[in-house]
């Protein structure tokens, strides 16, 4: 049985990936202590409290050996990256280099890197993996830098697969984070009150992809056919912010007429729209199974029972 290390293992995608792989692999998790405390159900996985920005933290697992490393640990908000750019450099750039150096020391066969659609910036039409990288935010630039480091370490015999997810949503997303996760932000507002505050135009559009579909895609990084390749993860469906909000209100038990929607000033580094061409990923046998309305309904049903201030604090 192969040993797998997941950085950001207590995060939204990382924890879902750990659960998905647990029956077939020996899965170990890296994250910060506060993140592990927020996910007590992960107790069954070996856990290491490591800040990837600190190279010395990796000494805690110097005696371990892993076959595959899924690198998900990151600062993931474009808005935060413009407000605190040093955080992206420390976590997404320096942190990725530290993970690569550790992969070399522990004799890992491969790093599966979770990048982002933010590396593309604003581009029209369905975006292919061969499109030029032109990020608008420090976050997008830091992820593009991470991809370069991952590729650079091929010279040391460490294979790689890079995934660029578009807008991931679903149960387990942090409803308290008001600066990252468009679907989760609007859904949290719809549960807490009767006003949806939108940063930017309602005509902006995104490609929303459900967490289960994302995890199944990322797991394909374990197969040999994906070695050295880069894949978009998206539904290929263009959904405007207005359409997204209408769907969120449609699954809410309260009538849509009881809500008001207001537009506020957009923030620096925000893409107006993006839609994935995921045909390359589909060539591996993957497909997007979850329709957006069904996924939002499943998410709503999971979180509506936690309508208390200690769980939600999101007012965007």
Q: What is the pLDDT of residue 232?
A: 98
Give the contacts of 244 (CB within 8 A, at least 6 positions apart): 182, 183, 186, 206, 208, 292
Residue ranges and CATH numbers for the domains of the chain are 3-168+208-233 (3.40.50.720), 170-207+237-274+291-306 (3.90.25.10)
pLDDT tens-digit series, residues 163-182: 999 999 999 988 776 667 78
Q: What is the mean pLDDT of the chain?
A: 91
Q: pTM score, two decimals? A: 0.92
CA-CA distance, 183 to 253, in Å (whole number)?
Answer: 17
Taking each continuous run of H as one helix and of E as one strand, the counts in the chain are 11, 15
pLDDT tens track, the chain, 316 positions: 799 999 999 999 999 999 999 999 999 999 999 999 989 999 999 999 999 999 999 999 999 999 999 999 986 665 666 666 667 788 999 999 999 999 999 999 999 999 999 999 999 899 999 999 999 999 999 999 999 999 999 999 999 999 999 999 999 988 776 667 789 999 999 998 889 999 888 999 999 999 999 999 999 999 999 999 999 999 999 999 999 999 999 999 998 889 999 888 776 667 889 999 999 999 999 999 999 999 999 999 988 765 433 344 333 2
Q: Which of 310, 290, 306 is nearest to 298 (CA)?
A: 290
């Amino acid at each position: 049985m192969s040993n797998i290390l997941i950085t950001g293992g207590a995060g939204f995608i990382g924890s879902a990936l750990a659960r998905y792989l647990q029956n077939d692999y020996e899965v170990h998790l890296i994250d910060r202590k506060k993140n592990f405390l927020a996910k007590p159900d992960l107790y069954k996985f070996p856990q290491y409290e490591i800040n990837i920005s600190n190279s010395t933290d990796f000494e805690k697992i110097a005696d371990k050996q892993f076959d595959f490393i899924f690198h998900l640990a990151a600062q993931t908000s474009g808005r935060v990256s413009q407000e605190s750019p040093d955080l992206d450099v420390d976590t997404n750039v320096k942190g990725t280099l530290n993970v690569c150096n550790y992969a070399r020391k522990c004799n890992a066969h491969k790093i599966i890197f979770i990048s982002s659609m933010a590396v593309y910036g604003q581009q029209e039409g369905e975006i292919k993996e061969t499109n030029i990288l032109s990020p608008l935010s420090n976050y997008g630039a830091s992820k593009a830098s991470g991809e370069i480091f991952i590729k650079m370490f091929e010279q040391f015999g460490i294979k790689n697969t890079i995934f660029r997810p578009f807008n991931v949503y679903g149960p387990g997303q942090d409803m308290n984070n008001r600066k990252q996760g468009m679907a989760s932000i609007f859904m949290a507002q719809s549960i807490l009150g009767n006003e949806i505050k939108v940063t930017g135009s309602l005509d902006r559009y995104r490609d929303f992809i459900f967490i289960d579909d994302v995890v199944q895609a990322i797991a394909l990084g374990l197969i040999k056919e994906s070695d050295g390749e880069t894949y978009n993860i998206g539904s290929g469906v263009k959904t405007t912010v207005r359409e997204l909000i209408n769907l969120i209100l449609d699954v809410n038990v309260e009538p849509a007429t009881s809500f008001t929607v207001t537009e506020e000033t957009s923030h620096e580094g925000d893409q107006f729209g993006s839609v994935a061409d995921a045909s390359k990923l589909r060539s591996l046998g993957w497909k997007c199974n979850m329709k957006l309305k069904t996924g939002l309904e499943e998410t709503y049903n999971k979180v509506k029972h936690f309508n208390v201030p200690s769980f939600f604090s999101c007012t965007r």
